């Protein structure tokens, strides 16, 4: 299969190496010219983890037109706050029949992506879909040494247009058999757990990060108060999902299922989860735990809450705090959902 991978970070390099290793023709786009130069000079990608092999990178470019030309599948492996920008840049180059997959979509990434394409004048009949999580657990050891620790077992996938989900998931399963179809992007977007656990501990430990303190992200930054605040944010997400007709796991249930954590409260479950023992807080307030998770997680949930009359005071307060601490209008730049069309699988309306 001819595939474009958009993004040259942890996910993008892992996807590129893995897919080449499995016989596909892959072009990789990165916005970083030094990375392009590096791979043009040293095209070897050394895979380890679930695959131990070295492969030759194909086309590595910062020219999106080149990167996208002729691909059946376009795997976007950037952080979700780059989706808007990528959609705008890709709009002129996309062709009928191409499939764009956001890895992951965070909350309603496909909706945003389709809206921006339409706004940007793209009329190609492109299929847009999203996973609920990055398919790999992976990290780059060095720029060309991706380590794929695991291929996740339980990856959900939906297309913005649900009638296209089945045939698209069949295409993806040729590459990643663990990907499973779910009925709509409500199921991928409303189970985004990152926005639940990431921004709040940063916002409430901002002074510690500013002061250069070293502390554990889950075990120390999440004090009883932060855990309580997170629980309220999570209740609001679950309430929005329920009103949309979707039963989602609570963060607590997720902790119990994924990690086998135990405890009566979210605070206890986090404290009792050994997987969090060594996870340190970011060394800087300049972290994607805010830059990514606020505009592509909290903002769209709050804006859907607005549309369907579910109050989200804790999420609103977290967003306001982020706007004030970062001096950024995350409400304006984030995923404001202005219509439920598209999200329910109806034709996407151009945002106003």
Catalytic positions are 198, 293
Closest residue by Cα to residue 292 from 84, 120, 28, 76:
84
Measured distance CA(257)–CA(346) in Å, rounded: 33
Size of the site for a second copy (CB under 8 A): 23
The token pair that represents 307 in the structure block = 């549309």
Report the nearest approach of a second copy to the CB of residue 321 (Å): 6
Q: Quick one: CA torsion of 98, 11, 194, 328, rounded to 10 degrees?
A: -80
The token pair that represents 35 in the structure block = 């990375």
According to the binding rule CB under 8 A, does residue 224 interact with a second copy? yes
* Residue written as token pair 């499973």: 180
Report the nearest approach of a second copy to the CB of residue 232 (Å): 7
What is the x/- site pattern for a second copy, positions 176-205, by CB under 8 A? ----------------------------xx
According to the binding rule CB under 8 A, does residue 352 interact with a second copy? no
Measured distance CA(235)–CA(238) in Å, rounded: 5
Applying CB under 8 A, among 226, 230, 304, 348 the residue interacting with a second copy is: 226
According to the binding rule CB under 8 A, does residue 220 interact with a second copy? yes
Whose Cβ is closer to a second copy: residue 149's or residue 215's? 215
Of residues 309-328, those binding a second copy (CB under 8 A): 313-314, 317, 320-321, 324-325
Q: Interacting stretch for a second copy, rule CB under 8 A, among 22-30, 110-118, 217-225, 242-250?
A: 217-225
According to the binding rule CB under 8 A, does residue 223 interact with a second copy? yes
Report the nearest approach of a second copy to the CB of residue 205 (Å): 5
Q: What angle do CA 258, 290, 282 make, to 5 degrees?
A: 75
Measured distance CA(70)–CA(27) in Å, rounded: 10
The token pair that represents 237 in the structure block = 């997400």
Are 140 and 49 contacting, i.e. CB atoms less than 8 angstroms apart? no
Q: Which residues bind a second copy (CB under 8 A)?
A: 204-208, 210-211, 220-221, 223-226, 229, 232, 285, 313-314, 317, 320-321, 324-325
């Amino acid at each position: 299969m001819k595939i474009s991978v958009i993004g040259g970070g942890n996910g993008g390099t892992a996807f590129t190496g893995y897919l080449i290793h499995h016989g596909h023709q892959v072009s990789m786009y990165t916005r970083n010219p030094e990375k392009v130069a590096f791979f043009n000079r040293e095209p070897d990608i050394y895979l380890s983890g679930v695959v131990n092999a070295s492969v030759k990178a194909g086309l590595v470019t910062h020219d999106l037109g080149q990167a996208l030309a002729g691909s059946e599948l376009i795997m976007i492996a950037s952080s979700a706050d780059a989706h808007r920008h990528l959609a705008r840049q890709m709009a002129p180059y996309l062709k009928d029949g191409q499939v764009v997959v956001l890895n992951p979509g965070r909350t309603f990434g496909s909706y945003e992506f389709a809206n921006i394409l339409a706004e940007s004048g793209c009329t190609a009949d492109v299929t847009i879909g999203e996973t609920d999580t990055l398919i790999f657990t992976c990290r780059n050891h060095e720029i060309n040494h991706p380590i794929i620790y695991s291929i996740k077992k339980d990856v959900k996938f939906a297309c913005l247009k649900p009638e296209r989900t089945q045939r698209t998931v069949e295409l993806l399963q040729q590459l990643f058999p663990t990907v499973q179809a779910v009925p709509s992007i409500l199921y991928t977007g409303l189970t985004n757990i990152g926005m639940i656990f990431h921004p709040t501990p940063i916002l409430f430990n901002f002074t510690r990060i500013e002061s250069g303190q070293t502390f554990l992200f889950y075990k120390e930054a999440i004090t009883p108060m932060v855990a309580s605040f997170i629980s309220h944010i999570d209740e609001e997400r679950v309430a929005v999902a329920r009103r949309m007709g979707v039963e989602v796991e609570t963060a607590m249930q997720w902790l119990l299922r994924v990690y086998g954590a135990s405890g009566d409260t979210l605070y206890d479950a986090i404290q009792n989860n050994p997987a969090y023992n060594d996870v340190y807080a970011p060394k800087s307030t300049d972290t994607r735990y805010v830059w990514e998770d606020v505009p592509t997680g909290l903002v769209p949930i709050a804006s859907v809450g607005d549309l369907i009359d579910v109050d989200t005071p804790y999420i609103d307060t977290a967003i306001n705090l982020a706007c004030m601490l970062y001096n950024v209008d995350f409400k304006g730049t984030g995923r404001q959902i202005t219509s439920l069309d598209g999200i329910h699988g109806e034709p996407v309306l151009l945002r106003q």
